[in-house]
Structure 1
């Protein structure tokens, strides 16, 4: 059974780890946008908890974990304090945001898939909700920071695809009764590495074939 392989303690640890790294990415983006400490905290909370809130509402896990576990709320504040005092040099912030965001993407796509399956969703829909868990907070973060979400931009490196791969790996591991802490971390690491490679080599998803012109992108 899934619950035997992936205990509530492990699930909670994955959630906290994902919340922390996503909160770091949100707070770092706030620094780059020159937000004050309150803005940093808001962006950290939204980035860290947005995808999980969406997941819990969809699967009927109410009230959501973010409102029942103090650790879920406090962790982004801890991340904010760390970034406030120890954020990297301005010229390195963009790179740091990408790395932490990739880490959160990997952790949340797996944790979201596992939790959705544990609440009765089929494997396909569990993986889909795992993807939504991973990208939801980042989408909200970008919107609040007045940026077009990376998920929707053709000129940004692959973002959703690595999360799809990680979530699909987790679903397949569940299907073949092979999910454990080691294989779940392998799934998360795969998504993380794919995202980093996409950033390094500018991998992008294809656009529509036979486009008339590239000159009207902003039309």
Structure 2
């Protein structure tokens, strides 16, 4: 996972997962093809753009590496045309979204650490990388961002980023430990959905 190709593969899988999630939300709102593609693009790459701007990596990969926008747009267009079949795969979409959460948290945290961001800051960057696209997706589709109202989502990303930072500090950030960390975040996210865990809210 620490190699450049492994990070690229993890990043692109995460891009595809969040593009599918964003495009699906846009289709549900009856947006046109451009709208679906745009929301899918923002959902897939918004977190990464935010990460790159924070760590001073400009231009962001979303604009400097053609594989990122092409992956996001291709998946979004596929969802637009295949959404009847895609809607029957809701569980698969939730799995992809959870997997994207884990993958983006790992890659975002590692890139922040590689850029010299201190540990606490790297944890925050990792979390923002994972949730940034979802926040933008919900705002564009007129929804209160899910991560702010009920789901155990941002907390999973922040906890996972702390684990990745700890592994790096202990010099244990190899492919297998990082893959396990990403899988653990995915598992916790899916378990939270299954058990309907949510953060406490203020009493009325």
Identify the TM-score tier after normalising by the shorter chain: over 0.9
SS at match of 2:200: coil
Q: Tell whether the 8 Å contact from 2:36 to 2:76 is kept in structure 1 after alignment.
A: yes
In the alignment, which of 125, 128, 150 is matched to residue 129 of structure 1? 125
Length-normalised TM-score, structure 2: 0.93
Per-residue CA deviation, residues 10-40 of structure 1 (Å, 9 max, x unaligned), is 2222211111111111111112222222111
The counterpart of 2:65, out of the listed 66, 69, 72, is: 69
Q: Distance in 2 between matches of 1:71 and 1:177?
A: 30
1:87 is paired with a residue of what secondary structure?
A: helix
The Cα shift of 1:89 comes to 4.9
Q: CA deviation at 1:165?
A: 2.1
Distance in 1 (CA, whole Å) between partners of 2:68 and 2:22 is 15
Asked if 1:119 is matched to 2:115, the reply is yes
CA–CA distance in structure 1, aligned partners of residues 84 and 170 of structure 2: 43
Q: Matched residue pairs, number?
A: 204
Tell me how far apart the structure 1 counterparts of residues 198 and 159 of structure 2 sit (CA, whole Å): 15
In 2, the alpha carbon distance for the partners of 1:82 and 1:91 equals: 12
Q: Deviations over 1:54-112 (max 9, x none)?
A: 11001000111111100011001121232133335586465554332212111101110
Tell me the residue number matched to 1:164.
Answer: 158
Name the structure with the higher helix share. 2
CA drift at 1:206: 2.0
Specify the SS of the correspondent of 2:59. Answer: coil
Look up the SS of the partner of 2:58 in the other structure. Answer: coil
User: TM-score, structure 1 length as denominator?
Assistant: 0.87
Decide whether the 8 Å contact of 2:98 with 2:186 is kept in 1.
Answer: yes
Q: 1:26–1:97: 8 Å Cα contact kept in structure 2?
A: no
- Number of the residue aligned with 2:199: 205
1:90 and 1:118, CA in 2 relative to 1: closer, same or farther beyond 3 A? closer
The 5-angstrom pairing of residues 134-145 of structure 1 reads: 134-145=130-141
Structure 1 unaligned segments of length 5 or more: list them: 214-219
Aligned residue among 49, 52, 56 for 1:53: 49
Mapped to 1, the partners of 2:31 and 2:182 lie a distance apart of: 30
Larger Rg: 1
CA distance in structure 2 between the partners assigned to 1:87 and 1:107 by the alignment:
24
**What RMSD over aligned residues (CA atoms) do the two structures have, in Å?**
1.8
